[in-house]
Structure 1
Amino acid sequence: MFKVWIDAGHGGKDPGAVGNGVQEKDIALKVSLGIKDRLEAEYENVQVLLSRSTDVFLELKERTSKANTAGADILVSIHCNAGGGKGGFESFRYTSASQNSIKLQNALHKAITGEVGGIDRGIKAQNLHMVRESKMPAVLTENLFVDVAADADRLKQASVINAIIDGHVQGIASYLGLKRKAGEDKPVTQERDINVPSKWAEVVWADLTDKGYFDGSRPGAPITREEMAVVVSRLLNNIKK
Protein backbone atom coordinates (compact mmCIF):
# COMPACT_ATOMS: atom_id res chain seq x y z
CA MET A 1 0.00 0.00 0.00
CA PHE A 2 1.52 3.27 -1.12
CA LYS A 3 1.08 6.29 1.17
CA VAL A 4 0.68 9.62 -0.62
CA TRP A 5 0.87 12.79 1.47
CA ILE A 6 -1.03 15.74 0.01
CA ASP A 7 -0.36 19.10 1.62
CA ALA A 8 -2.93 21.85 1.04
CA GLY A 9 -0.93 25.05 1.39
CA HIS A 10 -1.87 27.78 3.89
CA GLY A 11 -5.26 27.65 5.67
CA GLY A 12 -7.09 29.23 8.59
CA LYS A 13 -5.66 32.64 9.46
CA ASP A 14 -3.21 32.33 6.54
CA PRO A 15 -5.12 32.79 3.26
CA GLY A 16 -2.00 32.63 1.10
CA ALA A 17 -2.14 34.69 -2.07
CA VAL A 18 -5.36 36.67 -2.59
CA GLY A 19 -6.63 38.37 -5.72
CA ASN A 20 -9.60 38.75 -8.07
CA GLY A 21 -11.96 37.15 -5.57
CA VAL A 22 -9.79 34.04 -5.16
CA GLN A 23 -7.96 32.84 -2.03
CA GLU A 24 -5.08 30.43 -2.43
CA LYS A 25 -6.00 28.42 0.66
CA ASP A 26 -9.44 27.61 -0.78
CA ILE A 27 -8.11 26.38 -4.13
CA ALA A 28 -5.37 24.34 -2.42
CA LEU A 29 -7.89 22.59 -0.18
CA LYS A 30 -10.36 21.91 -2.99
CA VAL A 31 -7.62 20.41 -5.18
CA SER A 32 -6.18 18.35 -2.31
CA LEU A 33 -9.54 16.83 -1.40
CA GLY A 34 -10.17 16.08 -5.07
CA ILE A 35 -6.83 14.32 -5.43
CA LYS A 36 -7.57 12.11 -2.42
CA ASP A 37 -11.05 11.19 -3.65
CA ARG A 38 -9.92 10.40 -7.19
CA LEU A 39 -6.72 8.50 -6.38
CA GLU A 40 -8.34 6.25 -3.80
CA ALA A 41 -11.47 5.69 -5.91
CA GLU A 42 -9.68 4.90 -9.17
CA TYR A 43 -6.43 3.14 -8.20
CA GLU A 44 -5.43 0.06 -6.23
CA ASN A 45 -3.11 -0.06 -3.23
CA VAL A 46 -2.92 3.65 -2.46
CA GLN A 47 -3.82 5.64 0.64
CA VAL A 48 -3.90 9.44 0.56
CA LEU A 49 -3.14 11.32 3.77
CA LEU A 50 -3.80 15.05 4.12
CA SER A 51 -2.06 17.79 6.07
CA ARG A 52 -5.48 19.37 6.44
CA SER A 53 -8.98 18.49 5.30
CA THR A 54 -10.62 21.68 6.58
CA ASP A 55 -9.81 25.39 6.75
CA VAL A 56 -7.28 25.27 9.62
CA PHE A 57 -3.85 26.80 10.12
CA LEU A 58 -0.75 24.61 10.40
CA GLU A 59 2.88 25.63 10.78
CA LEU A 60 5.20 24.37 8.05
CA LYS A 61 7.08 22.22 10.57
CA GLU A 62 3.84 20.49 11.60
CA ARG A 63 3.13 19.56 8.01
CA THR A 64 6.47 17.92 7.25
CA SER A 65 6.74 16.32 10.70
CA LYS A 66 3.37 14.60 10.22
CA ALA A 67 4.30 13.40 6.75
CA ASN A 68 7.67 12.06 7.94
CA THR A 69 6.12 10.33 10.95
CA ALA A 70 3.46 8.71 8.76
CA GLY A 71 6.15 7.20 6.54
CA ALA A 72 4.63 8.61 3.37
CA ASP A 73 6.15 7.42 0.09
CA ILE A 74 5.81 10.82 -1.58
CA LEU A 75 4.69 14.35 -0.69
CA VAL A 76 2.99 16.88 -2.95
CA SER A 77 2.32 20.39 -1.64
CA ILE A 78 -0.50 22.24 -3.44
CA HIS A 79 -0.39 26.00 -3.96
CA CYS A 80 -1.45 28.87 -6.20
CA ASN A 81 0.89 31.65 -7.25
CA ALA A 82 1.03 35.47 -7.27
CA GLY A 83 3.22 38.22 -8.71
CA GLY A 84 3.99 36.38 -11.93
CA GLY A 85 3.16 38.81 -14.70
CA LYS A 86 1.36 36.69 -17.31
CA GLY A 87 0.62 33.82 -14.91
CA GLY A 88 0.85 30.09 -15.61
CA PHE A 89 1.96 26.87 -13.91
CA GLU A 90 5.30 25.92 -12.37
CA SER A 91 6.63 23.21 -10.06
CA PHE A 92 9.43 23.08 -7.49
CA ARG A 93 11.76 20.52 -5.97
CA TYR A 94 14.56 21.08 -3.44
CA THR A 95 17.83 22.56 -4.73
CA SER A 96 19.70 19.32 -3.99
CA ALA A 97 16.77 16.98 -4.54
CA SER A 98 17.05 13.21 -4.86
CA GLN A 99 16.69 11.56 -8.24
CA ASN A 100 13.31 10.26 -7.13
CA SER A 101 12.13 13.80 -6.35
CA ILE A 102 13.24 14.83 -9.84
CA LYS A 103 11.35 11.90 -11.38
CA LEU A 104 8.24 12.77 -9.35
CA GLN A 105 8.46 16.40 -10.44
CA ASN A 106 8.86 15.45 -14.09
CA ALA A 107 5.84 13.14 -13.94
CA LEU A 108 3.66 15.72 -12.19
CA HIS A 109 4.73 18.64 -14.35
CA LYS A 110 4.11 16.80 -17.60
CA ALA A 111 0.69 15.54 -16.52
CA ILE A 112 -0.54 18.84 -15.04
CA THR A 113 0.55 21.02 -17.96
CA GLY A 114 -0.99 18.49 -20.33
CA GLU A 115 -4.34 18.71 -18.55
CA VAL A 116 -4.43 22.39 -17.62
CA GLY A 117 -2.68 23.99 -20.60
CA GLY A 118 -1.82 27.69 -20.54
CA ILE A 119 1.61 29.12 -19.78
CA ASP A 120 4.27 26.63 -18.68
CA ARG A 121 6.70 28.51 -16.41
CA GLY A 122 8.93 25.48 -16.14
CA ILE A 123 10.42 22.90 -13.79
CA LYS A 124 12.33 24.65 -11.00
CA ALA A 125 14.39 24.03 -7.86
CA GLN A 126 14.24 26.20 -4.75
CA ASN A 127 15.05 26.04 -1.04
CA LEU A 128 11.45 25.66 0.15
CA HIS A 129 10.60 24.12 3.53
CA MET A 130 8.08 21.58 2.25
CA VAL A 131 10.49 20.02 -0.23
CA ARG A 132 13.58 20.47 1.95
CA GLU A 133 12.35 18.97 5.23
CA SER A 134 10.41 16.05 3.78
CA LYS A 135 12.23 12.72 4.01
CA MET A 136 10.44 11.31 0.97
CA PRO A 137 10.42 12.50 -2.68
CA ALA A 138 8.64 15.85 -2.55
CA VAL A 139 7.31 18.41 -5.04
CA LEU A 140 5.48 21.71 -4.63
CA THR A 141 3.08 22.79 -7.38
CA GLU A 142 2.03 26.39 -8.11
CA ASN A 143 -1.27 26.16 -9.94
CA LEU A 144 -1.95 29.43 -11.78
CA PHE A 145 -1.86 32.98 -10.40
CA VAL A 146 -4.66 34.45 -8.30
CA ASP A 147 -3.51 38.01 -9.05
CA VAL A 148 -3.58 37.52 -12.84
CA ALA A 149 -7.16 38.11 -13.96
CA ALA A 150 -7.15 35.47 -16.71
CA ASP A 151 -5.77 32.81 -14.36
CA ALA A 152 -8.15 33.80 -11.55
CA ASP A 153 -11.09 33.50 -13.94
CA ARG A 154 -9.94 30.00 -14.83
CA LEU A 155 -9.60 29.03 -11.16
CA LYS A 156 -13.28 29.91 -10.70
CA GLN A 157 -14.27 27.29 -13.29
CA ALA A 158 -15.05 23.75 -12.13
CA SER A 159 -13.60 22.33 -15.36
CA VAL A 160 -10.20 23.92 -14.63
CA ILE A 161 -10.15 22.69 -11.02
CA ASN A 162 -10.98 19.21 -12.35
CA ALA A 163 -8.11 19.47 -14.82
CA ILE A 164 -5.69 20.47 -12.05
CA ILE A 165 -6.87 17.53 -9.93
CA ASP A 166 -6.63 15.11 -12.86
CA GLY A 167 -3.11 16.30 -13.67
CA HIS A 168 -1.93 15.62 -10.13
CA VAL A 169 -3.65 12.23 -10.03
CA GLN A 170 -2.13 11.16 -13.35
CA GLY A 171 1.35 12.35 -12.36
CA ILE A 172 1.25 10.54 -9.01
CA ALA A 173 -0.15 7.36 -10.56
CA SER A 174 2.51 7.41 -13.26
CA TYR A 175 5.38 7.90 -10.81
CA LEU A 176 4.21 5.19 -8.41
CA GLY A 177 3.16 2.82 -11.19
CA LEU A 178 -0.34 2.51 -9.74
CA LYS A 179 -2.76 0.05 -11.26
CA ARG A 180 -6.23 1.31 -12.12
CA LYS A 181 -9.08 -0.55 -10.43
CA ALA A 182 -10.97 -2.97 -12.62
CA GLY A 183 -13.76 -1.26 -14.49
CA GLU A 184 -12.56 2.20 -13.49
CA ASP A 185 -12.23 4.61 -16.37
CA LYS A 186 -11.27 8.24 -16.18
CA PRO A 187 -14.43 10.16 -15.19
CA VAL A 188 -15.92 12.33 -17.87
CA THR A 189 -16.12 15.98 -16.84
CA GLN A 190 -19.70 17.18 -17.01
CA GLU A 191 -20.16 19.58 -19.89
CA ARG A 192 -21.27 23.12 -19.08
CA ASP A 193 -24.74 24.42 -19.89
CA ILE A 194 -24.21 26.66 -22.93
CA ASN A 195 -27.39 28.56 -22.08
CA VAL A 196 -25.97 29.88 -18.80
CA PRO A 197 -23.12 32.43 -18.78
CA SER A 198 -20.05 31.71 -16.64
CA LYS A 199 -20.01 33.62 -13.35
CA TRP A 200 -16.97 35.66 -14.39
CA ALA A 201 -18.72 36.77 -17.63
CA GLU A 202 -22.24 37.47 -16.33
CA VAL A 203 -21.90 41.26 -16.05
CA VAL A 204 -20.21 41.79 -19.43
CA TRP A 205 -22.61 39.40 -21.17
CA ALA A 206 -25.65 41.22 -19.75
CA ASP A 207 -24.19 44.61 -20.68
CA LEU A 208 -23.45 43.71 -24.31
CA THR A 209 -26.79 41.96 -24.67
CA ASP A 210 -28.59 45.09 -23.44
CA LYS A 211 -26.62 47.14 -25.99
CA GLY A 212 -27.78 44.85 -28.79
CA TYR A 213 -24.47 43.23 -29.76
CA PHE A 214 -25.81 39.77 -28.83
CA ASP A 215 -29.35 38.39 -28.69
CA GLY A 216 -28.87 36.87 -25.23
CA SER A 217 -29.02 33.23 -26.35
CA ARG A 218 -26.39 30.47 -25.94
CA PRO A 219 -23.71 32.51 -24.07
CA GLY A 220 -21.52 29.41 -23.62
CA ALA A 221 -21.56 28.24 -27.23
CA PRO A 222 -18.64 28.67 -29.68
CA ILE A 223 -19.08 31.58 -32.09
CA THR A 224 -19.10 31.08 -35.87
CA ARG A 225 -17.55 33.46 -38.38
CA GLU A 226 -21.07 34.38 -39.51
CA GLU A 227 -22.05 35.33 -35.98
CA MET A 228 -18.80 37.25 -35.54
CA ALA A 229 -19.56 39.19 -38.73
CA VAL A 230 -22.94 40.22 -37.28
CA VAL A 231 -21.34 41.39 -34.02
CA VAL A 232 -18.66 43.37 -35.87
CA SER A 233 -21.32 44.95 -38.09
CA ARG A 234 -23.33 46.04 -35.05
CA LEU A 235 -20.18 47.45 -33.45
CA LEU A 236 -19.25 49.44 -36.57
CA ASN A 237 -22.77 50.79 -36.92
CA ASN A 238 -22.68 51.91 -33.30
CA ILE A 239 -19.35 53.69 -33.84
CA LYS A 240 -20.75 55.56 -36.86
CA LYS A 241 -23.58 56.90 -34.71
Structure 2
Amino acid sequence: MVKIFIDPGHGGSDPGAVGNGLQEKDLTLQIAIRIRDILGSEYENVELNMSRTGDTALSLSSRTNAANAWGADFLLSIHINAGGGTGYEDFIYPNVGAPTATYQNIIHEEVIKAVDFADRGKKQANFHMLRESAMPALLTENGFIDHANDAAKLAQPAFIEGIARGHVNGLARAFGLKKKQINLFRVQIGAFRDKGNADSLAAQARSAGFDSFVLAENGLYKVQAGAFSDRKNAEQLVQHLTAAGFEAIIL
Protein backbone atom coordinates (compact mmCIF):
# COMPACT_ATOMS: atom_id res chain seq x y z
CA MET A 1 0.00 0.00 0.00
CA VAL A 2 1.44 3.38 -1.05
CA LYS A 3 0.43 6.34 1.11
CA ILE A 4 0.32 9.63 -0.81
CA PHE A 5 -0.31 12.94 0.95
CA ILE A 6 -1.63 15.73 -1.30
CA ASP A 7 -1.26 19.36 -0.23
CA PRO A 8 -3.28 22.03 -2.06
CA GLY A 9 -1.29 25.21 -1.46
CA HIS A 10 -2.72 28.21 0.44
CA GLY A 11 -6.43 28.43 1.40
CA GLY A 12 -8.86 30.41 3.53
CA SER A 13 -7.56 33.89 4.33
CA ASP A 14 -4.43 33.13 2.29
CA PRO A 15 -5.43 33.23 -1.40
CA GLY A 16 -1.90 32.72 -2.67
CA ALA A 17 -1.16 34.29 -6.03
CA VAL A 18 -3.99 36.25 -7.66
CA GLY A 19 -4.40 37.33 -11.25
CA ASN A 20 -6.71 37.44 -14.25
CA GLY A 21 -9.76 36.81 -12.08
CA LEU A 22 -8.28 33.65 -10.54
CA GLN A 23 -6.98 32.74 -7.08
CA GLU A 24 -4.25 30.20 -6.49
CA LYS A 25 -6.02 28.63 -3.50
CA ASP A 26 -9.03 27.67 -5.66
CA LEU A 27 -6.98 26.19 -8.49
CA THR A 28 -4.71 24.16 -6.22
CA LEU A 29 -7.73 22.64 -4.49
CA GLN A 30 -9.39 21.76 -7.80
CA ILE A 31 -6.23 20.03 -9.04
CA ALA A 32 -5.58 18.23 -5.76
CA ILE A 33 -9.12 16.88 -5.44
CA ARG A 34 -9.02 15.52 -8.99
CA ILE A 35 -5.67 13.85 -8.32
CA ARG A 36 -7.11 12.24 -5.21
CA ASP A 37 -10.32 11.14 -6.92
CA ILE A 38 -8.61 9.70 -10.00
CA LEU A 39 -6.05 7.78 -7.97
CA GLY A 40 -8.69 6.48 -5.58
CA SER A 41 -11.12 5.37 -8.25
CA GLU A 42 -8.74 4.00 -10.87
CA TYR A 43 -5.74 2.52 -9.03
CA GLU A 44 -5.14 -0.30 -6.57
CA ASN A 45 -3.14 -0.30 -3.33
CA VAL A 46 -2.99 3.44 -2.80
CA GLU A 47 -4.08 5.30 0.32
CA LEU A 48 -4.72 9.03 0.06
CA ASN A 49 -4.85 11.96 2.45
CA MET A 50 -5.03 15.72 1.96
CA SER A 51 -3.93 18.68 4.03
CA ARG A 52 -7.24 20.37 3.25
CA THR A 53 -10.39 19.53 1.33
CA GLY A 54 -12.06 22.93 1.65
CA ASP A 55 -11.22 26.63 1.74
CA THR A 56 -9.21 26.45 4.98
CA ALA A 57 -6.17 28.42 6.09
CA LEU A 58 -3.37 26.17 7.35
CA SER A 59 0.16 26.88 8.50
CA LEU A 60 3.03 25.26 6.65
CA SER A 61 4.00 23.40 9.83
CA SER A 62 0.51 21.94 10.24
CA ARG A 63 0.70 20.56 6.70
CA THR A 64 4.04 18.80 7.08
CA ASN A 65 3.18 17.68 10.63
CA ALA A 66 0.02 16.01 9.30
CA ALA A 67 1.93 14.23 6.54
CA ASN A 68 4.65 13.09 8.95
CA ALA A 69 2.19 11.89 11.59
CA TRP A 70 0.21 9.94 8.98
CA GLY A 71 3.36 8.18 7.82
CA ALA A 72 3.07 9.20 4.17
CA ASP A 73 5.35 7.60 1.60
CA PHE A 74 5.24 10.70 -0.58
CA LEU A 75 4.14 14.32 -0.25
CA LEU A 76 2.88 16.25 -3.26
CA SER A 77 2.35 20.00 -2.80
CA ILE A 78 0.35 21.73 -5.55
CA HIS A 79 0.89 25.40 -6.38
CA ILE A 80 0.30 28.02 -9.09
CA ASN A 81 3.11 30.41 -9.96
CA ALA A 82 3.30 34.20 -10.34
CA GLY A 83 5.93 36.80 -11.07
CA GLY A 84 5.99 37.38 -14.79
CA GLY A 85 6.98 33.98 -16.18
CA THR A 86 5.09 31.25 -18.00
CA GLY A 87 4.91 27.46 -17.87
CA TYR A 88 5.40 24.52 -15.52
CA GLU A 89 8.21 23.70 -13.09
CA ASP A 90 8.68 21.56 -10.01
CA PHE A 91 10.99 21.47 -7.00
CA ILE A 92 12.68 19.00 -4.66
CA TYR A 93 14.91 19.72 -1.66
CA PRO A 94 18.53 20.49 -2.69
CA ASN A 95 20.89 17.55 -3.08
CA VAL A 96 18.38 15.05 -1.73
CA GLY A 97 19.17 12.46 -4.41
CA ALA A 98 17.25 9.26 -5.09
CA PRO A 99 14.48 8.24 -4.79
CA THR A 100 13.11 11.81 -4.63
CA ALA A 101 14.98 12.94 -7.74
CA THR A 102 13.74 9.87 -9.60
CA TYR A 103 10.15 10.65 -8.63
CA GLN A 104 10.64 14.24 -9.79
CA ASN A 105 11.99 13.10 -13.18
CA ILE A 106 9.00 10.83 -13.79
CA ILE A 107 6.25 13.18 -12.59
CA HIS A 108 7.78 16.14 -14.44
CA GLU A 109 7.85 14.17 -17.67
CA GLU A 110 4.23 13.05 -17.34
CA VAL A 111 2.87 16.51 -16.51
CA ILE A 112 4.67 18.07 -19.48
CA LYS A 113 3.25 15.36 -21.74
CA ALA A 114 -0.28 15.97 -20.46
CA VAL A 115 -0.54 19.77 -20.69
CA ASP A 116 0.31 22.54 -23.10
CA PHE A 117 2.71 24.43 -20.85
CA ALA A 118 6.25 25.65 -21.46
CA ASP A 119 8.77 23.44 -19.65
CA ARG A 120 10.65 25.54 -17.09
CA GLY A 121 12.61 22.55 -15.86
CA LYS A 122 13.24 20.47 -12.77
CA LYS A 123 14.55 22.56 -9.90
CA GLN A 124 15.64 22.48 -6.27
CA ALA A 125 14.70 24.85 -3.43
CA ASN A 126 14.78 25.12 0.36
CA PHE A 127 10.99 25.30 0.71
CA HIS A 128 9.36 24.35 4.02
CA MET A 129 7.18 21.65 2.42
CA LEU A 130 10.27 19.96 1.06
CA ARG A 131 12.60 20.55 4.00
CA GLU A 132 10.30 19.54 6.86
CA SER A 133 8.69 16.47 5.32
CA ALA A 134 9.97 13.14 6.61
CA MET A 135 9.32 11.46 3.26
CA PRO A 136 10.21 12.23 -0.37
CA ALA A 137 8.39 15.41 -1.42
CA LEU A 138 7.71 17.33 -4.61
CA LEU A 139 6.28 20.82 -5.03
CA THR A 140 4.78 21.61 -8.45
CA GLU A 141 4.12 25.07 -9.91
CA ASN A 142 1.41 24.73 -12.53
CA GLY A 143 1.50 27.81 -14.74
CA PHE A 144 1.58 31.53 -13.95
CA ILE A 145 -1.66 33.06 -12.76
CA ASP A 146 -0.47 36.54 -13.80
CA HIS A 147 0.31 35.45 -17.37
CA ALA A 148 -2.71 35.93 -19.62
CA ASN A 149 -2.20 32.77 -21.70
CA ASP A 150 -1.46 30.55 -18.70
CA ALA A 151 -4.44 31.96 -16.82
CA ALA A 152 -6.76 31.38 -19.78
CA LYS A 153 -5.77 27.72 -19.74
CA LEU A 154 -6.12 27.41 -15.96
CA ALA A 155 -9.66 28.78 -16.21
CA GLN A 156 -10.72 25.77 -18.29
CA PRO A 157 -11.96 22.67 -16.40
CA ALA A 158 -10.58 20.42 -19.15
CA PHE A 159 -7.11 21.89 -18.63
CA ILE A 160 -7.32 21.39 -14.86
CA GLU A 161 -8.27 17.77 -15.60
CA GLY A 162 -5.20 17.46 -17.81
CA ILE A 163 -2.91 18.79 -15.07
CA ALA A 164 -4.40 16.32 -12.60
CA ARG A 165 -4.06 13.44 -15.07
CA GLY A 166 -0.44 14.33 -15.68
CA HIS A 167 0.32 14.18 -11.95
CA VAL A 168 -1.59 10.91 -11.63
CA ASN A 169 0.25 9.35 -14.56
CA GLY A 170 3.54 10.34 -12.96
CA LEU A 171 2.61 8.99 -9.54
CA ALA A 172 1.39 5.74 -11.06
CA ARG A 173 4.67 5.28 -12.93
CA ALA A 174 6.84 6.35 -10.02
CA PHE A 175 5.24 3.95 -7.54
CA GLY A 176 4.28 1.14 -9.93
CA LEU A 177 0.56 1.53 -9.25
CA LYS A 178 -1.73 -0.90 -11.04
CA LYS A 179 -5.06 0.08 -12.52
CA LYS A 180 -8.21 -1.41 -11.08
CA GLN A 181 -10.11 -3.85 -13.25
CA ILE A 182 -13.31 -1.98 -14.11
CA ASN A 183 -16.10 -3.45 -16.22
CA LEU A 184 -17.27 -0.87 -18.75
CA PHE A 185 -20.43 -0.74 -20.87
CA ARG A 186 -19.32 0.63 -24.23
CA VAL A 187 -21.75 2.36 -26.56
CA GLN A 188 -20.94 1.62 -30.21
CA ILE A 189 -22.57 3.20 -33.25
CA GLY A 190 -20.77 1.35 -36.03
CA ALA A 191 -18.02 -1.06 -37.04
CA PHE A 192 -16.24 -1.04 -40.41
CA ARG A 193 -13.40 -2.69 -42.26
CA ASP A 194 -12.70 0.63 -43.98
CA LYS A 195 -11.25 3.22 -41.60
CA GLY A 196 -12.54 6.05 -43.79
CA ASN A 197 -16.11 4.96 -43.17
CA ALA A 198 -15.49 4.82 -39.43
CA ASP A 199 -13.88 8.26 -39.42
CA SER A 200 -16.83 9.67 -41.37
CA LEU A 201 -19.38 8.30 -38.90
CA ALA A 202 -17.36 9.51 -35.91
CA ALA A 203 -17.21 13.00 -37.41
CA GLN A 204 -20.96 12.92 -38.04
CA ALA A 205 -21.60 11.97 -34.41
CA ARG A 206 -19.31 14.72 -33.13
CA SER A 207 -21.08 17.30 -35.28
CA ALA A 208 -24.33 16.14 -33.68
CA GLY A 209 -22.89 16.82 -30.22
CA PHE A 210 -21.69 13.33 -29.22
CA ASP A 211 -18.14 12.57 -28.15
CA SER A 212 -16.94 9.77 -30.39
CA PHE A 213 -13.72 8.19 -31.57
CA VAL A 214 -12.52 5.29 -33.69
CA LEU A 215 -11.09 2.22 -31.99
CA ALA A 216 -9.18 -0.43 -33.98
CA GLU A 217 -10.12 -3.83 -32.59
CA ASN A 218 -10.22 -7.40 -33.98
CA GLY A 219 -9.67 -6.27 -37.56
CA LEU A 220 -12.47 -3.70 -37.45
CA TYR A 221 -12.64 0.05 -36.98
CA LYS A 222 -15.28 0.57 -34.31
CA VAL A 223 -16.93 3.92 -33.62
CA GLN A 224 -17.42 4.37 -29.89
CA ALA A 225 -19.58 7.13 -28.43
CA GLY A 226 -19.11 6.47 -24.71
CA ALA A 227 -18.08 4.03 -21.99
CA PHE A 228 -19.64 3.74 -18.53
CA SER A 229 -19.28 1.65 -15.40
CA ASP A 230 -23.04 2.06 -14.84
CA ARG A 231 -25.21 0.38 -17.48
CA LYS A 232 -28.03 2.88 -16.91
CA ASN A 233 -25.79 5.70 -18.14
CA ALA A 234 -24.99 3.67 -21.25
CA GLU A 235 -28.68 3.04 -21.86
CA GLN A 236 -29.44 6.76 -21.59
CA LEU A 237 -26.80 7.54 -24.17
CA VAL A 238 -28.24 4.89 -26.51
CA GLN A 239 -31.63 6.60 -26.24
CA HIS A 240 -30.12 9.99 -27.13
CA LEU A 241 -28.17 8.53 -30.05
CA THR A 242 -31.21 6.67 -31.37
CA ALA A 243 -33.30 9.83 -31.22
CA ALA A 244 -30.59 11.57 -33.26
CA GLY A 245 -30.74 8.89 -35.94
CA PHE A 246 -27.77 6.71 -34.99
CA GLU A 247 -27.87 2.92 -34.56
CA ALA A 248 -26.36 2.34 -31.13
CA ILE A 249 -25.63 -0.84 -29.22
CA ILE A 250 -24.13 -1.60 -25.80
CA LEU A 251 -21.11 -3.90 -25.63
For normalisation by structure 1, the TM-score amounts to: 0.75
Shift of 1:98: 3.5
Partner of 2:106, secondary structure, is helix
Aligned partner of 2:139 in structure 1 is 140
Counterpart Cα distance in 2 of 1:5 and 1:167: 17
Distance 1:175 1:118 in 2: 21
What's the C-alpha RMSD, in Å, of the aligned pairs?
Answer: 1.8
Asked if the contact 1:98/1:137 (under 8 Å) is kept, the reply is no
Report deviation, 1:194: 8.8
| Residue 191 (structure 2) aligns with | none
Q: CA deviation at 1:70?
A: 0.3
Q: 1:88 to 1:184 in 2, by over 3 A?
A: farther
Residue of structure 2 in register with 1:101 after alignment: 100
- Structure 2 residue runs of 5 or longer lacking an equivalent are 185-205, 209-251
Q: Deviations over 1:203-235 (max 9, x none)?
A: xxxxxxxxxxxxxxxxxxxxxxxxxxxxxxxxx
Whether the 8 Å CA contact 1:42–1:184 is kept in 2: the answer is no
Separation in structure 1 between the aligned mates of residue 130 and residue 50 of structure 2, nearest angstrom: 16
| Pairing 1:172-183 to 2, within 5 Å after superposition | 172-183=171-182
**Structure 1 segments unaligned to the other structure (5+ residues):** 186-192, 196-241
1:23-79 deviation digits (Å, cap 9, x = unpaired): 000000001110110001000010110000000000000000110010001000000
How far, CA to CA, are the matches of 2:183 and 2:162 in structure 1? Answer: 18
Tell me how far apart the structure 2 counterparts of residues 117 and 19 of structure 1 sit (CA, whole Å): 20
Within the alignment, does 1:51 sit opposite 2:51 as a pair? yes
In the alignment, what sits opposite 1:230?
Answer: none
Change (3 A) 1:70 1:98: farther
Sort the Cα spacing of 1:10 and 1:99 in 2 relative to 1 into closer, same or farther, 3 A. same
Q: Secondary structure at the residue paired with 1:104?
A: helix
Tell me how far apart the structure 2 counterparts of residues 31 and 78 of structure 1 sit (CA, whole Å). Answer: 8
Quick one: structure 1 residues 81 and 95, their matched pair in 2 at CA, closer, same or farther if it must change by over 3 Å? same
Separation in 2 of the partners of 1:118 and 1:194? 29
- Residue 106 of structure 1: how far off its partner (Å): 0.8
Dislocated runs of 4+, deviation >3 Å: none
Residue 216 of structure 1 corresponds to which residue in structure 2? none
Instruction: Provide the rounded CA distance (Å) in 2 between the counterparts of 1:84 and 1:61.
Output: 28
- Number of the residue aligned with 2:170: 171
Q: Is residue 10 of structure 1 aligned with residue 10 of structure 2? A: yes
1:4 counterpart SS class: strand
Q: Any conservation in 2 of the 1:31–1:164 contact (CA below 8 Å)?
A: yes
- What percentage of aligned pairs have identical amino acids? 50
